Amino acid sequence: TWIPLLNRSAGCGLFIIIAYLAVQHRRMTHDLMKAATREVEHQALRLRESLLAKNAEELQDLYDHAPCGYHSLDPDGLIIAMNQTELNWLGYTKQEVLGKKRFSDLLTSAGVQLFQEQFPIFRKEGRVHGLEFDMVRKNGTTFPTLLSATAITDADGRFVASRSTLVDI
Instruction: Name the least confident of 1-15, 46-60, 115-129, 130-144.
Output: 1-15
Indicate if the pLDDT at residue 24 is higher than 80: yes
User: In this structure, is the dihedral angle defined by the CA atoms of residues 4, 6, 7 and 13, taken in order, positive or negative?
Assistant: positive
List the beta bridge partners of residue 131.
147
Per the model's pLDDT, the better-predicted residue between 9 and 29 turns out to be 29
Does position 1 have pLDDT exceeding 70, yes or no? Answer: no
Q: What is the DSSP letter of 140?
A: S
- Compute the C-alpha angle 87/95/117, nearest 5°: 60
Distance CA 43, CA 37 (A): 10
Q: Given this model, what pLDDT does residue 5 score?
A: 74
Pick left, alpha or beta for residue 33 (phi over 0 → left; psi -120 to 50 → alpha; otherwise beta).
alpha
pLDDT tens string 62-111: 989 999 999 999 999 999 999 999 999 999 999 999 999 999 999 999 99
Q: What is the pLDDT of residues 28-40, one digit of tens each?
A: 999 999 999 999 9
Rounded to a whole number of angstroms, the distance between the first and last alpha carbons of the chain is 112
Indicate the average pLDDT of the chain: 93
> Distance (Å, rounded) from C-alpha 23 to C-alpha 61?
57
Phi, psi of 57 (to 5 degrees): -65, -45
- State residue 42's pLDDT score: 93
Q: Distance between CA atoms of 151 and 81, rounded to whole angstroms?
A: 14
**Would you state the pLDDT for residue 17?**
87
**Residue 50 φ/ψ, nearest 5 degrees:** -65, -45
Largest CA distance in the chain: 118
